[in-house]
Amino acid sequence: MPSLTDQRMLITGGSAGIGFEIARAALEQGARVVLNGRDAARLEAAADKLHVPFVAGDVGTDAPAIMASAVEQLGGLDVLVNNAGWGRRMTLEELDADVMHEIWRTNVLGAALMAQAALPHFEVAGAGALVNIASTAALKGYAGGSAYSSSKFALASLSQCWAAELRPRNIRVLQVNPSEVQTGFGGRDLSAGMNPRKLFAEDVAHAVLGALTMHPRGFVPELTIHATNPWE
């Protein structure tokens, strides 16, 4: 099985949750990682825990600068994990145009701009992997999900478009759809502890790295992750 040893990886939204656990697991497999996030203090604390470099910035506005700094620190790029994202429940009556615009700016435009910035570096390397962390909200809408779910549906479309464009250039595009994951996403309060039957961020990391270590002759275009039995 191919290894992640010395693979150069940039992970957006890497200061906590799924991004942080992907970074931790990738490092254990020998990858070289740069973390990105918007909150510089929080990002630096996460990078210190993992002993990795970082670059603060907003993917929706700073993508070229983020990529340039990461590539300078890594000496190139083999894997981009588009994990930065956020959401807020809003019914149709509650829909706030400014909030919806900001969600789309990060979750859709930010992912697109980061992928665009990564492309020249993948081409220099002769191959690459682009991982889009979507959601089961990319597969089915729900009450209150107009802003967030629609952004993830859009990311799913982008993933399919990019796969069609980039496969002839040896660039693999993987969309990952986690169901509910126990992180602080959406302002969740985890102070009461974790439910051992529901998904942990490390479960998503395991799935992502499993797909990345598949032989480059094949790729997994889409991967959905559910807890086996979260109800008992």
Catalytic residues: 148
> Cα(61)–Cα(30) distance, rounded to whole angstroms?
31
Rounded to the nearest 5°, which phi and psi values hold at 9?
A: -130, 130
The CA distance from 86 to 165, in Å, is: 27
Cα separation of 28 and 177, whole Å? 23
54 burial type by CB count under 10 A (0-12 exposed, 13-18 middle, 19+ buried): buried
| CA distances in angstroms from 208 to 21, 100, 120, 154, 222, listed in the order given | 10, 28, 23, 20, 10
- Measured in degrees and rounded to the nearest 5, phi and psi for residue 34 equal -120, 135
Q: How far apart are CA 58 and CA 64, in angstroms?
A: 10
d(CA 86, CA 102): 9
| Cα–Cα nearest to 63, from 116, 120, 127, 122 | 116
Q: CA-to-CA distance for 132 and 160, rounded, in angstroms?
A: 11
